[in-house]
Amino acid sequence: MPWSTRDTMSLREEFISLALHEEANRRELCRRFGISPQTGYKWLARFAQQGPSGLADVSRRPLHSPGATQQALQQAALALRREHPAWGGRKIARRLQDLGLGCLAPSTVTSILHRHGLIAAEASAAAQPWQRFEHTHPNALWQIDFKGHVDTPAGRCHPLTLLDDHSRFNMAIRACARQEGGTVREQLIQVFRTYGLPVRINADNGAPWGSPREPGQLSELALWLIRLGIRVSFSRPYHPQTNGKDERFHRSLKAEVLNGRSFTDLGQAQTAFDCWREIYNHQRPHQALDMQTPASRYRMSERSYPEQLPPIEYGPQDAVVMVKALGEMRFLGRRYKLSSALRGMPVAVRAIEAYDGRYSVHFMHHKLREIDLRED
């Protein structure tokens, strides 16, 4: 089977990166990338023999020769800086090493950039280290959000971004015309079919993820994720740092792609996003990852996307109640507000052990709220 028409070289590199993980299921990976196992193993063999150059359809000239001089290495560092103006000494030094061009200390690279006027004083003052908690395994948590909007002559472009917490691997940057639940669902299905399902997804409280006026209430998009077996969590209101890694990713996207640039339409924006995503995942060293690339730490999820939603089932001890049209449920003569997105769907009411008169209300694995019959 052929590769997708989207940037074949990038797809091959991403396939190889994921397939080389020790626990990777290579046949499943081939299925998700839409290629035959014969094609997948062919490119794995070429990569093993020739390295990254073996993935190209045509031969490439070597990036360097054994007689390269120190001056040439400095010029290579300057070229990387001009190609990626937001990269600092650490990233450039690591990238030079990864390309096999030679080794320079990050401080040496920084000095070279200063001598050639490629680091402004404001940039030096603004450089601050970022330290955050991270989950210990890929796909334990994904962070999702829209990066504001970009105006184009054809209308607004809303970049949708999805990031793995452990590896910082970017599953998607999608140029969307609208910030709607249906749009997000359509994009997520494509991601799930390739990378599988995460354990949890975190989003902010705004639409289409949740209800900004009534925090904790579920949207139709959140209900769909829960039915897939994904745990859904929301950032604290007015605390964007709860989704901090995706927010940091947005800073890089703005600095390296969006600043000083315009697009004619969504297609041109998507082309730019795809190009930078390849650089971000596979080339750009990440300081929080000890200068490794996100792709080196990511592997696809073992949980495949089900094309049909599983049935809603509850335990024998649960009291199953149908949610009414206004998003309310009735239990023991009282009415409780849940979410209008739940109308017509069953929820489970469970007694809280050791507490007389207190119950928890669940939609599948997701806890919606607690109720206390002792309250007036």
Each residue's pLDDT tens digit, 285-304: 888 778 889 999 999 999 99
Q: For 316, what's the count of Cα atoms within 13 Å in the CB-facing half-sphere?
A: 0
| Separation CA 86–CA 59 (nearest Å) | 31
Output Rg (C-alpha) for the chain, integer angstroms: 24
- Residue 347, strand partner residues: 321
pLDDT at residue number 291? 85
| Separation CA 245–CA 297 (nearest Å) | 15
Q: Which two tokens stand for residue 102?
A: 């030679």
| Separation CA 338–CA 326 (nearest Å) | 9
Which is more confidently placed, 182 or 136?
A: 182
pLDDT at residue number 268? 95
| Separation CA 34–CA 205 (nearest Å) | 35
pLDDT at residue number 235? 78
At residue 280, φ and ψ (nearest 5 deg) are -60, -45
Average pLDDT over residues 12-21: 87
pLDDT at residue number 303? 92
Average pLDDT over residues 338-342: 91
For residue 362, count CB atoms less than 10 angstroms from its CB and return exposed for 0-12, middle for 13-18, buried for 19 or more.
middle
Alpha helices in 167-235 (DSSP H): 181-195, 220-227
What phi-psi label fits residue 355: left (phi over 0), alpha (psi between -120 and 50 degrees) or beta? beta
Residue with tokens 């050639």, as numbered in its chain: 116
- Domain limits, the chain: 8-55, 70-126, 142-297, 319-372
| Separation CA 348–CA 346 (nearest Å) | 7
pLDDT at residue number 349? 95
pLDDT at residue number 68? 42
Question: The whole model's pTM is what?
Answer: 0.71
Of 152-156, 202-206, 251-255, 306-310, which range is least confident?
Answer: 202-206
Which pLDDT band, with edges at 50, 70 and 90, does 215 fall under? low
Of 43-57, 136-150, 226-240, 254-268, which range is least confident?
Answer: 226-240
- What's the CATH architecture for 142-297? 2-Layer Sandwich (3.30)
227-266 pLDDT, tens digit per residue, is 999 999 887 655 555 567 878 888 989 999 998 889 999 9
Which pLDDT band, with edges at 50, 70 and 90, does 375 fall under? confident
Averaging pLDDT over each range in 102-111, 262-271, 351-360, which range is the top one?
A: 262-271
Q: Decide if pLDDT at 128 tops 50.
A: no
pLDDT at residue number 98? 86
Q: Decide if pLDDT at 125 tops 50.
A: no
Which pLDDT band, with edges at 50, 70 and 90, does 130 fall under? very low
